[in-house]
Structure 1
Amino acid sequence: MASYAMKITLERIALFQFTPTHCAQARAMLGWSVDELSRETGVAEAEIERFEARREVADADRLALAYRFESEGLMFFPGFAPGRVIGGKGAEAESRGQAEFVNG
């Protein structure tokens, strides 16, 4: 039960810290188009465009985007542009797609 609570807490932190501006900035930093990000995450292009336009999208989509960028070594803090993790890519060896965040 504790690990589930921790998972939910970490997801809520990621949702708070990752903003639409971060998404567009991170794509630019990596040189990715909306289409490329969609293929990397399984999040529909239309949903990525909605998010970057500051419209509501599912939490699962936002988490998939945030965690994919983090797997590339980017980190996010409210009010700041994305930063790079010192020493390489993020902690996860493989990216996670949108499907992993649907229904817990």
Structure 2
Amino acid sequence: MDEYVTLCTHQLTPEHCVKAREHLRWPRETLAQESGVSVEAIARFEDEQANLREVTLQALAWAMEAQGLIFIQGHPLLVGMDVRGATPDPRLRDDYEMIE
């Protein structure tokens, strides 16, 4: 089985997700389109009603990091110059096909 290394997805919190969407002015539907994660899964995560799989968190982080956002647990949402690559592209994973 392949191993996947994820640098920042464990640091993405529900509060980060909400604040990131607000910063980007993205409704949940836009984040769903950009990440490949269902609107329902995003809602459950943001409402702290569900723990999402690692690949799902990776997809969410990847989509928002591509817009220059940085997620560090214990810190507010950060905006960087170029953080692409902080989280590997989840589309390369075997388990990405259907997320949540």
Are 2:71 and 1:48 aligned?
no
**Which segments of 5 or more consecutive residues in structure 1 lack a partner in the other structure?**
none
Q: What residue in structure 2 maps to residue 30 of structure 1?
A: 24
1:79 to 61, 74, 83: 74
Q: Which has the larger radius of gyration?
A: 1
Cα RMSD (Å): 2.4
- Pick the structure with more helix per residue: 1
Report how many residues are paired.
92
TM-score normalised over the length of structure 2: 0.77
Q: 4+ residue runs of structure 1 moved beyond 4 angstroms?
A: none
Structure 1 residue 101 displacement after superposition: 3.9
What fraction of aligned residue pairs are identical, expressed as a percent? 27
Structure 1 residue 90 displacement after superposition: 3.0
Instruction: Report the Cα distance in structure 2 between the residues aligned to 1:100 and 1:52, rounded to whole angstroms.
Output: 25
The structure, 1 or 2, with the larger RCO (C-alpha pairs under 8 Å, 6+ apart) is: 2
